[in-house]
Chain A
Amino acid sequence: MSVDQLPLPAAALDDAGRAAAGPYPDWFSKRRRGRSLIVNPLVPAVMVGLPVLVIIAIVIYPTVWMFYHAFHDTNMMSLFTRNWQAVGWDNFALVLSSDRFADSVLHLLRYLLFGACLQVLLGTALAQILYEVVQSNALRIVLLIVMVLPMMLPPSIVGVLWKFLLQADNGAFNHLLIKLGMLAPTDRIEWLDADLALWSLIIADVWQWTALPLLIVYSGRVSLPPAIYEAARVDGASRWLVLRRITLPMLKEIIAIAFIIRFMDAYKFVDKVYVMTAGGPAQRSELPVFIAFQKGIREFQVGEAAAYAIIIFVVAAILITLFLQYLKRVLKAQGIA
């Protein structure tokens, strides 16, 4: 309830609506406050109009432009000469039938499965360990800070960092493996080579982002009522049974939300790809968003890039709708909405 909806005591306003001497000072009167703010009838029009114009300029116009060009053969030349031809659904057919797109979708799936899922699994396990196993509060805080630190770095910096660490000849990672005796001193693992490039991206991303699901699940675990765990102790349930039958089912929704957040990030994952592998070698670590970026900004195949963007947008819209429906059901089940 905002302030002006609050019922005013009888003495504050007289019959004509003027402020009268009463328990509240003058500035609680609706009329006075209204007059003092709206000096000129243009003020509200300008205050609403400017943001609307900005949104039209940076969101609505480019979107309409993109949809228009998705159905034209626009490229760098035709953009300059301003003679593009309508080609119907050709751009979409081109994208959907290309191996490059199919590969990138497979890369994305692999990245989601081993990147986002692994982060959520690891985060959940770490949160559980942090809560159940670590007894000292001070140690718990220190560990939390240490684990959250990578999240504070810009993703592109993390990309550069890992590119250095994973260098085949003088990278720290190979050096570590050699020191540990897991690799012969003359051997090299080509981390950024065609076979491993996507896995290297996944390693770097897991390193950076595992702390987010960890934080979310940990805070969920902390908020579970302790009395339930005491009841389980009195009932004689083992730790494993408590975890399986009580803790995990109660954290189910929170884990799902952590996954949704990681999924949304993963779906638009482009920064580390750009910095670490540039989609290569031989397009073996490309993701759809990265191809759209390449096509549109690098090669100026505007029509094809627009088709990519629309396909990505439609899939994202469908997935987000499903997620929102799930969230709504969860909230309803918990009596929140």
Chain B
Amino acid sequence: MARVTLDTVNKIYPSRHGPVHAVQDLDITIEDGEFVAVLGPSGCGKTSTLRMIVGLETITGGTIRFDDRPVNELTPEQRNVAMAFETYALYPNFTIAENLGFPLEVRGVDRKAREAEVLRVARLLRIEDILGHKPAHLSGGQQQRVSLGRALIRDPAVFILDEVMSHLDAHLKLQMLFELKRIHQSMGKTMVYVTHDQMEALALADRVAVMSNARLQQFGTRDELYHAPANRFVADFIGEPPTNFFDAEVTETAGEIALAVPGTDLAFTTSPARVAALRNRGGKRAIVGIRPQNLFITPLDDAGSVTATVALNEYLGEQSILTFDDKGVSFRALAPPDADAKTGATVAVRYRPADVMVFDTDTEALVA
């Protein structure tokens, strides 16, 4: 078990078109026993980060420490990390039992003890019945569990899981998420989980590190990511459907600050704290962000609402996604399936000022 510290870690790959900065000044501290997800779109540097933690990739700059010991120069074996791979990476010529037992075989554990351990892990992952098979004969879900099992059979300092669910179907994924959570709770090991799927990250992790363009955007709990996203990227990436953004003008009438979207009738007010921050910041423009979940349809004569025309009503079963159009500016809201909002209808949309997020137009960082 270990606390993992990444101290201004950089990764630069040489390439034919000049060096590629894959990871830039990454600072993360993963506490002992914590479950951390690294989340980001493809090519954001999350897999490079993870391979540097494992020791499969050299570190161009910065230091990685396990507890207080720098591990930059150590091999994966010396770091004592266990990893489950996106492509499973099972040894095709071994049976499942041999695959699971290989890390122990390498360490010279005798056959008897090895078989007992293999059986224990197989029970944990419910794969006792396929121990005699070769990997080629298993389904993706089974191979994935074997790959997890090969990591779990050891007693490593850190578990590293690289996109381990990306090849599973939705049903199996839910089941594996639950099992992974259960395994983490029963073992209490430090786990780092890399994914591009926010649902997996938010469901599993104690804290999530959101990466984009080789940089860490935000590292926090799911509440922090959801309610106080550090910048526009995080607000956009976390949440489904994505947050609505408006380029707004900061207007002040009779001491009240409002954010009006030019060319439309849309105008938002925000929480007192953000109003104060806006006053401090000055400036004429800002980006308004509001999640579709936080927009509600109300009767037309409701004060404090904005009116908009329904352009599209996507019925998804448990809820509908309404797309509104107001003079060329479109935005979306979630509504109960029985909401009275036919295409073309004009409805009132209500929001809580506290849910209105404000971002700086230039830096795209959150204003308060």
Contact of A225 among B77, B83, B87, B93 (CB under 8 A): B87
B89 engages A230 (CB within 8 Å): yes
B85 engages A230 (CB within 8 Å): yes
Within 8 A of B (CB), among A219-247: 225, 227-228, 230-238, 241, 245-246
- Tell yes or no: B232 within 8 A of A by CB: no
The 5 closest A-B pairs by CB, nearest first: A236-B77, A227-B89, A231-B89, A249-B93, A235-B103
Find the B residue at minimum CB distance from A231. Answer: B89
Interface residues of B (CB under 8 A from A): 54-56, 75-77, 81-83, 85, 87-93, 102-103, 106-107, 136, 150
Which A residues are CB-close (under 8 A) to B150?
231, 235
User: Knowing that A225-B89, A233-B77, A235-B102 are A-B contacts, what are 11 other residue pairs whose CB atoms are under 8 Å apart, sorted by A's residue number?
Assistant: A228-B91, A231-B90, A232-B91, A233-B56, A234-B81, A234-B82, A236-B77, A238-B106, A241-B106, A334-B136, A335-B136
B85 engages A231 (CB within 8 Å): yes
Interface residues of A (CB under 8 A from B): 225, 227-228, 230-238, 241, 245-246, 249-250, 252, 334-335
With known contacts A227-B87, A334-B136, A335-B136, A236–B107 Cβ distance under 8 A: yes
Q: With A and B bound together, what is the CA distance between A113 and B76 in angstroms?
A: 42
Find the B residue at minimum CB distance from A250. Answer: B93
B83 engages A234 (CB within 8 Å): yes
Which A residues are CB-close (under 8 A) to B102?
232, 235, 237, 245
Q: With A and B bound together, what is the CA distance between A225 and B83 in angstroms?
A: 17
Which A residues are CB-close (under 8 A) to B92?
228, 250
Q: With A and B bound together, what is the CA distance between A236 and B102 in angstroms?
A: 10
Give how many A-B residue pairs fall within 8 Å (CB-CB): 57
Q: How far is the CB of A241 from chain B (nearest CB, A)?
A: 7
Question: Can you give 10 A-B contacts (C-beta < 8 A)?
Answer: A228-B92, A231-B91, A234-B77, A234-B83, A235-B150, A236-B106, A236-B107, A249-B93, A250-B92, A334-B136
Q: How far is the CB of B158 from chain A (nearest CB, A)?
A: 11
Q: With A and B bound together, what is the CA distance between A228 and B82 in angstroms?
A: 14
Q: How far is the CB of B143 from chain A (nearest CB, A)?
A: 12
Q: How far is the CB of A332 from chain B (nearest CB, A)?
A: 11
B136 engages A233 (CB within 8 Å): no
With known contacts A230-B56, A231-B85, A236–B91 Cβ distance under 8 A: no
Q: With A and B bound together, what is the CA distance between A230 and B86 in angstroms?
A: 12
Q: How far is the CB of A71 from chain B (nearest CB, A)?
A: 50
Q: How far is the CB of B126 from chain A (nearest CB, A)?
A: 22
Q: With A and B bound together, what is the CA distance between A232 and B150 in angstroms?
A: 11
Find the B residue at minimum CB distance from A241. Answer: B106
Find the A residue at minimum CB distance from B85. Answer: A227
Contact of A236 among B76, B88, B90 (CB under 8 A): B76
Q: With A and B bound together, what is the CA distance between A246 and B106 in angstroms?
A: 12
Find the A residue at minimum CB distance from B136. Answer: A335
With known contacts A231-B83, A231-B89, A236–B103 Cβ distance under 8 A: yes
Which A residues are CB-close (under 8 A) to B76?
233-234, 236
A246 engages B56 (CB within 8 Å): no
Contact of A246 among B54, B82, B93, B103 (CB under 8 A): B93
Q: How far is the CB of B78 from chain A (nearest CB, A)?
A: 9
Q: With A and B bound together, what is the CA distance between A234 and B154 in angstroms?
A: 11
B54 engages A234 (CB within 8 Å): yes
Q: With A and B bound together, what is the CA distance between A190 and B162 in angstroms?
A: 64
Q: How far is the CB of B102 from chain A (nearest CB, A)?
A: 6
Which B residues are CB-close (under 8 A) to A227?
85, 87-89
Q: With A and B bound together, what is the CA distance between A225 and B89 in angstroms?
A: 8
Q: How far is the CB of B105 from chain A (nearest CB, A)?
A: 8
Q: With A and B bound together, what is the CA distance between A97 and B77 in angstroms?
A: 64
Which B residues are CB-close (under 8 A) to A237?
102, 106
Which B residues are CB-close (under 8 A) to A246?
91, 93
Which B residues are CB-close (under 8 A) to A241?
106
Find the A residue at minimum CB distance from B153. Answer: A235
